[in-house]
Structure 1
Amino acid sequence: MLRWLLAVLGYALYRFPGAIVGFLLGSLIDNFSSKKGKTFQSAFGTSQQEVTPADFELNLLSLASLVIKADGSVSQSELDYVRQYFVQAYGRERANATFKVFNDVIKKHEISAQNICTLLRQRTRYESRLQILHFLFSIANADGSVSTLEVNEINRIAGFLGIYARDFESIKAMFFKNPDSAYKILEIERTATTSEIKTAYRTMVKKYHPDKLQHMDEAHQKGGEEKFKKVQEAYEQLQKERGF
């Protein structure tokens, strides 16, 4: 419908060339709207064709719900963390709209992590998916610790998201303190030489630099800064231990 409206408007302004441009522009907008409806339908198995707010937020909230329920109990601190995160990222009004759609529509259907992650792999950059992984670990850690069941669920989601095992272990190590944490964060072995540690640090700085998340919302960028800080802390720890 929009394509014809813009075609008529284009013709009135610029005659035949304007009609062509208006029709093409309207077609692009119509196709984009249609794809959003189909994306939501294929991810959640519903017949709803129009989604407000954006389905990315619903996908993210759905993955969060899987992590929250992974250990068999729903922690209030984890729920509060998710709500605060969404309010910070999208504003209170939009966050409330997301939770309403989730409660009214999505919760009534089986949530498929594989379907959701397949869509996210198609529509997000790898560094954005790394931040989603960090977000899920942060939820699990909101009650003070990350359980084995939660780790297993996040690992399953990471596989569907196409996250490399070494990147999963790196982000996981940011939430567990043990003698090997600094090495795992930098994705190296304890036997790594000083030169290898420095090289690994430079590689991780490039991978987790906050600038790579400038296209995402403020809350996601803040999470990126937290990852970047953990990399720096890991490197400084090894500097002290190795004396270089």
Structure 2
Amino acid sequence: MKWLFAIIGFAFRGFIGSIIGFFIGSILERIFFSSSKSSDSGSFFDIFDESQKGSVSPSDFELNLLSLSSLVIKADGQVSQSEMDYVRMYFVQSYGKERANATFRTFNNVVKNREISADRICAYLRPRLSYEVRLQVLHYLFNIANADQHVSDSEMRVIRNIAQHLRVGLQDFESIKAMFFQSADNAYKILEIEKSASDAEVKKAYRTMAKKYHPDKLQHMDEVHQKGAQEKFTKVQEAYEKIQKERGL
């Protein structure tokens, strides 16, 4: 199938078209070949075997990330244009316009009208993504929910559910969550400490969190993912500076 699409793409757009065609054909081939071996009762994500280990292919990662995005967008029963725009902008910046559009088309044609299970998606992604990348996925989902300047309770529940399935620790979840909410103690939550922590504990927590969220952790990812890592790292620095100012450190 992938070679057929490559030939068709070459006929219409030359060499670039053949690459795009091969990319789309590879995704469809994987989907239809795997689906033919499974029952029709399951969701699209029944094709993924949780027992499989190893790295996730770029096309699988993009489709699964887009599927998780759709769960957040639809969480409150309303499709926000600002949230849709954020997802499109993120994918275009990450993968380029043509590749992003190919992913959107595949999602709309194959995945959109099927059951999307956060449990199955995360079971597939979890063993294939480093913990730092899973944290970045969570940060990305919060950015979607906050695109309209408000994270609803239903969106929060969906993101918390995804975080649990990705096995993101509760403290890390609360830390990233605090980056999107203003409260009297959100600086402490970002550093994953209590307000009663000693000055030494504050300094230790800052060093720990700065190391965890350092952009170098995602240097193998696309530029937009590194930008997300930089955003988290900056929030950690701002939280530490706020506590320093409060305490006169």
TM-score band, normalised by the shorter chain? Answer: 0.7 to 0.9
Contact 2:46-2:120 at 8 Å conserved across structures: no
Q: Report what 1:141 is aligned to.
A: 146
1:113 and 1:157 in contact (8 A); partners too: yes
Is residue 44 from structure 1 mapped to residue 44 from structure 2 by the alignment? yes
**Alpha-carbon distance in structure 2 between the residues aligned to 1:172 and 1:226:** 13
Please tell me whether the aligned partners of residues 45 and 109 of structure 1 are also in contact (alpha carbons under 8 angstroms): no
Q: Does 1:67 align with 2:72?
A: yes
Q: Identity of aligned pairs, percent? A: 66
What letter matches 1:94 in structure 2? R
Whole-angstrom CA distance in 2 between matches of 1:152 and 1:219: 26
1:40-93: CA deviation from partner (whole Å, max 9, x where unpaired): 75872477xxxx971110000000000001111010000000000000000000
2:209 aligns with 204
Unaligned runs of 5+ in 1: 1-32
Residue 168 of structure 2 corresponds to residue 175 of structure 1: no
228, 232, 239: which one aligns with 2:237: 232
Distance (Å, rounded) in 2 between the aligned partners of 1:63 and 1:218:
20
Q: Is the 1:53–1:98 Cα contact (8 Å) retained in structure 2?
A: no
CA distance in 2, matches of 1:102, 1:121: 21
**1:183, 1:234 within 8 Å by CA — same for their partners in 2?**
yes
Give, in angstroms, the shift of residue 175 of structure 1.
0.1
Unaligned runs of 5+ in 2: 1-25, 48-56
Q: Distance in 2 between matches of 1:64 and 1:112?
A: 12
| CA contact 1:53–1:97 (8 Å) conserved in 2 | no
Instruction: Map 1:114-193; keep pairs closer than 5 Å.
Output: 114-193=119-198
Q: 1:100 to 1:40 in 2, by over 3 A?
A: farther
RMSD: 2.2
CA distance in 1, matches of 2:80, 2:240: 33
Q: Matches of 2:34 and 2:160 in 1, distance apart?
A: 24
Residues 200, 46 of structure 1: alpha-carbon distance in 2 compared, 3 angstrom cutoff: closer
Provide TM-score, normalisation by structure 1: 0.81
Query: Which residue number in structure 1 is paired with residue 10 of structure 2?
Result: none
Within 5 Å, which residues of 2 pair with 1:10-49? 37=30, 44-45=44-45
Question: What is the DSSP-based 3-state SS (H/G/I as helix, E as strand, rest coil) of the residue aligned with 1:177?
Answer: coil
Deviation at 1:155, TM superposition (A): 0.1
**SS of 2:112's equivalent?**
helix
Q: Give the TM-score of the pair, scaled to structure 2.
A: 0.79
Q: Which is higher, the Rg of structure 1 or of structure 2?
A: 1
- Give 1:136 deviation, angstroms: 0.1
How far the C-alpha of 1:37 sits from its partner, in A, is 3.1
- Alignment partners' CA distance in 2, 1:37 and 1:106: 13
3-state SS of the aligned residue for 1:109?
coil
Q: What SS is found at the alignment partner of 1:146?
A: coil
Distance in 2 (CA, whole Å) between partners of 1:173 and 1:136 is 14
Question: Is 1:78 aligned to 2:71, yes or no?
Answer: no
Residue 246 of structure 2 aligns to which amino acid in structure 1? Answer: E
Quote how far apart the aligned CAs of 1:141 are.
0.3
